[in-house]
Amino acid sequence: MPIVKQIDTVAAEFPAYTNYLFTSYNGTEHDITFNDWGLVFTASAPPLNLIGVHVMVNYNPETVSTNFDEAD
């Protein structure tokens, strides 16, 4: 069974407000607690390439760089 681990992105210098999680088989207990409830949402739609509409949203502002002098 995979174990959920959390990454501390600020190396414990400041309180971490982000929640970066990953799963691993190399562990004994979860780093976070889970609620007793869950929600599964399933939906069906026609393939987007048939209707000509594509939408991409990147809501991860920490990966967006505004420094144009730096290369990727």
The pLDDT tens digits along the chain (72 residues) read 888 888 887 877 887 777 788 888 988 898 888 776 766 667 766 665 566 556 666 666 566 556 656 655
- Please state, in angstroms and as integers, the Cα–Cα distance from residue 64 to each residue in 51, 58, 61, 68, 70, following that order: 30, 9, 5, 11, 12
User: In whole angstroms, what separates CA 17 from the centre of its chain?
Assistant: 13
- pLDDT at site 6: 85
The confidence score (pLDDT) of residue 65 equals: 58
